Amino acid sequence: MTATRLRELMDDDVVFAPGVWDGLSARLAEQAGFPALCASGFAISAALGLPDAELYTMSENLDAVRRIIETSDLPVIADIDTGYGNAVNAARTARRFAAAGVAAVFMEDQESPKRCPICVGDPVPVISLEEAAGKIRAVRDAVGDRLVVIARTDTAGEEALGRAEAYAAAGAEMIMPVTKTFAGVDDWARCRERAGVPLMATLTASTWVERDFTPEVLREVGVRLALLPTQILLSATGAMRETLRRLESGEPPAEVSADALPHHDFVDLIGFADIERAQEKYLPVAGA
Are 102 and 150 within 8 A, CB to CB? no
pLDDT value at 288 more than 70: no
Cα–Cα distance measured from residue 44 to residue 20, given in angstroms and rounded to the nearest whole number: 8
Least trusted range by pLDDT, from 97-106, 108-117, 196-205: 108-117
- pLDDT beyond 90 at 116: no
State if pTM tops 0.85: yes
CA distances from 179 to 29, 182, 275 (A): 23, 7, 43
- The H or E element containing residue 67 is helix 58-71
Band of pLDDT at residue 115, cut at 50, 70 and 90: confident
- Please state, in angstroms and rounded to a whole number, the distance separating the CA atoms of residues 96 and 99: 5
Q: Which of 173, 204, 202 is nearest to 188 (CA)?
A: 202
66 vs 84: CA distance, rounded Å: 18
d(CA 271, CA 3): 27
Which pLDDT does position 256 carry in this prediction?
98
pLDDT at 287: 62
- Per-residue pLDDT reduced to its tens digit, 127-173: 999 999 999 999 999 999 999 999 999 999 999 999 999 999 999 99
* Domain at 2-236, CATH class: alpha beta
Question: Are the C-beta atoms of residues 143 and 95 closer than 8 Å to each other?
Answer: yes
pLDDT value at 119 more than 90: no
